[in-house]
Amino acid sequence: MSGQPSPSQPSPPLRSARWFAKDDLRSFGHRSRLKGMGYDDADFMDRPVVALLNTWSDLNTCHSHFKTRAEEIKRGILQAGGFPVEVPVVSLGEMLMKPTTMLYRNLLAMEAEEVLRCHPIDSVVLMGGCDKTVPALIMGAISANLPFVFFPAGPMLKARWKDQTLGSGTDAWKFWAERCAGNLCDGEWKEIENCIARSAGTCMTMGTASTMACIAEALGVTLPNAGSIPAVLSEHSRLAVATGRRAVELATTQLRPLDFLSRESFVNAMITQLTLSGSTNAIVHMIAMAGRAGIQITLDDYDSISKRIPVLADLRPSGRFLMEDFYNAGGLAALLNQLRDTLHLDAKTVNGVTLGEQIAPAQVIDNEVIRDRDRAIWPTGGTYVLRGNLAPDGCVIKTVAADPKLHSHTGPALVFKSYADMKLRINDPALPVTPDTVLVLQTGGPIGAPGFPEWGMLPIPDKILKMGIRDMVRISDARMSGTSYGTCVLHVAPESYIGGPLGLVEDGDLISLDVEARTLQLLVDDATLANRKARWKKPEPRWSRGYLKLFAEHTTQANLGCDFDFLHGNTPDLEPEI
């Protein structure tokens, strides 16, 4: 494997030697306690200590196979002469945590950073996959600046119901709409519930989990092909073992993330998200991850790239196929080979080669799943950035997943003051809503919700579904699931709860959306808006203690990545006293 030291370049001393190598009382204590666990000098002396930060949990459905994968990673570490240590960290399971795992992304990032800093660790394998575990672990590892390699959980296998292929999330929304419209009986709905999650692994659509896994691969922090291997294939087990071996090599060479991650690395990752028509959530995470490396990525950067990068992956929710198909079609490397002239091919990777060298052998096997550029799914990136008086700091829309007839639309607002208000009234038969109405959700942002939950794919009212309508313009300062679709304007910044213009919208106000012009305008005169703003009162602090108080006081807005403000930028190594 490239990246190993040559005989003329002796390996630098191991970081863990500071804990174990000295002949003093402190090191005596460290060694003796490991020996109390049944280890001896041959296990850990003069061997790289390689940590596995494992986000396994009985309540994290995406990671249900991680106990087995951890043992396989350990096997690779032992094969390469390392000492594996498994360290559990908080598990962010998207399906069961409320109000949202996004509330706890920064908590896991902080835990990962501090766990790595305070222990005798030479390198680390980050075990994640479910949406927020990926950016959180990478953010923490970049900040700790210890050698790391990321190991994605991998997507589920494709699901089947009757004669239809099902994709988790995407088809749940679709069939729920049909049930609300009266077109699907309770028995059929139960059948779908029983089969839509077919195996261990993350959503098999191009939702946030798969988007972030592919971004990690493009960023250069995984082994090749890691972004799309289904969770239960033998190839995934072999990936685990190989990842363990590579982690030992990283400990030996001490290749740290800040040695190879560059602005060009993050541009490659942005191109990846856009050509995949990946989850809009990835934009927030990318800004935060880059910020930990001292690299500024903005919404304007995204929009500039979006104007020239086509969507080439025909994957749900924007297209037809699923992640298993994508892997069989050649995976991310094959897709990126279609865009070589747009990429920074000399960007370095954790594998000791450039991105260009890493993707060079890949070939497209199925050009329906991975399209040629002259047969693009969409001529420009799948996500657009919008601005206007309703979103002065920007907002986003997944254009390729929206009804083209709504790309240019003006309609009257119907405002929901909160998620609870929306749930209470959305299916009220007396709700004053038509297909032209613009549904607006307030108090869904990072501070207001709190945590920036996936409330942005507001449900279509039942009375509208029964008319045969399946999409409407919906606007919020919340996020939406990467598996979802529709004309949903998201991440409006600044958010309504802190005084953003979205909080000034009233029922009946006309709102104009123009996707091609990249504008979102509230058609209310400036004097009226100024009067409303003058009447607005800042909410009283909601949280008096604990993590929620910390989150409310230090989380940045969506356009800045929703990271804690005190964790931005590069920081010097903060090695503990031994």
pLDDT tens string 153-188: 999 999 999 999 999 999 999 999 999 999 999 999
User: Are residues 205 and 190 located together in one domain of the fold?
Assistant: no
The answer to whether residue 101 is domain-embedded is: yes
pLDDT bracket for residue 12 (50, 70, 90): confident
CB 513 within 8 A of CB 413: no
Task: Return the bridge partners of 391, or none.
Answer: 388
CB atoms inside a 10 Å sphere around CB 361: 10
User: Are residues 190 and 332 located together in one domain of the fold?
Assistant: no
User: Are residues 446 and 521 located together in one domain of the fold?
Assistant: yes
User: Are residues 164 and 279 located together in one domain of the fold?
Assistant: no
The answer to whether residue 405 is domain-embedded is: yes
Task: Name the CA radius of gyration of the chain, rounded.
Answer: 24
φ/ψ of 75, rounded to 5, equals: -60, -40
The domain in which residue 524 lies consists of 384-535
User: Are residues 313 and 395 located together in one domain of the fold?
Assistant: no
359-383: average pLDDT: 96
The answer to whether residue 12 is domain-embedded is: no
Answer yes or no: is pLDDT of 530 > 80. yes
506-512: average pLDDT: 98
User: Are residues 152 and 164 located together in one domain of the fold?
Assistant: no
What are the distances in angstroms from CA 233 to CA 93, 154, 199, 240, 327?
A: 22, 9, 11, 11, 11
Helix (H, G, I), strand (E, B) or coil at 364: coil
User: Are residues 93 and 202 located together in one domain of the fold?
Assistant: yes
Question: What is the number of domains present in the chain?
Answer: 3
**Helix then strand then coil, % of the chain, to nearest 5:** 40, 15, 45
The answer to whether residue 411 is domain-embedded is: yes
What are the distances in angstroms from CA 311 to CA 227, 308, 480?
A: 18, 10, 20
The answer to whether residue 24 is domain-embedded is: no
Q: What is the pLDDT of residue 9?
A: 60
pLDDT tens string 452-461: 999 999 999 9
Q: Which of 216, 126, 104, 117 is CA-nearest to residue 564?
A: 104
Q: What is the pLDDT of residue 11?
A: 72
- Kindly state the percentage of the chain with pLDDT values over 70: 98
The answer to whether residue 33 is domain-embedded is: no
Average pLDDT, the chain: 96
What are the distances in angstroms from CA 303 to CA 212, 309, 361, 397?
A: 19, 10, 30, 11
* CATH number of the domain enclosing 404: 3.50.30.80
The answer to whether residue 568 is domain-embedded is: no
Answer yes or no: is pLDDT of 568 > 90. no
Answer yes or no: is pLDDT of 237 > 60. yes
Peptide bond into 317 cis (omega under 30): yes
Q: What is the pLDDT of residue 574?
A: 77
User: Are residues 278 and 421 located together in one domain of the fold?
Assistant: no
User: Are residues 352 and 280 located together in one domain of the fold?
Assistant: yes
Q: What does 523-544 look like in DSSP terms, one character per residue?
A: -S-HHHHHHHHHH--PPPP---
Q: Which residues of 564-577 are buried (b: 16+ CB within 10 A; e: fewer)?
A: beebbeeeeeeeee
Q: What is the pLDDT of residue 573?
A: 65
Task: Return the bridge partners of 415, or none.
Answer: 440
The answer to whether residue 79 is domain-embedded is: yes
User: Are residues 110 and 180 located together in one domain of the fold?
Assistant: no
User: Are residues 492 and 400 located together in one domain of the fold?
Assistant: yes
387-402: average pLDDT: 97
465-473: average pLDDT: 97
195-215: average pLDDT: 97
